[in-house]
Amino acid sequence: MKTLKEIACGQTVKVKKLTGEGPVKRRIMDMGITKDVLVFVRKTAPLGDPIEVTVRGYELSLRKSDAETIEVE
């Protein structure tokens, strides 16, 4: 399984599963990142934190640790 953290800039992927629990999962879902949604990776900071993505037309920044909990295909 690949996670969102492993995806290169400029790629669009489909969310397969959220593996986080509790507040982490809730925060990700509140951003609109749910199963089967498309996520476009716009930019990754030099050290990998944060990862900037576009989801449902919104530009968001994700922590590297949060991106590890999002499985994609």
Which pLDDT tens digit goes with each residue over 2-25?
Answer: 999 999 999 999 999 999 899 999
Domain 2-72 in this protein, CATH class = mainly beta
What CA–CA distance (Å, rounded) separates 9 from 73?
A: 15
Tokens 């999002």 locate to 70
pLDDT of residue 48: 67
What CA–CA distance (Å, rounded) separates 11 from 23?
A: 27
Which pLDDT tens digit goes with each residue over 25-62?
Answer: 999 999 999 999 999 999 988 876 899 999 999 999 99
Q: How far is CA 50 from the centre of its chain?
A: 10
- 64 phi and psi, to 5 degrees? -60, -40
Residue 38 three-state SS: strand
What CA–CA distance (Å, rounded) separates 31 from 27?
A: 6
The domain ranges of the chain are 2-72
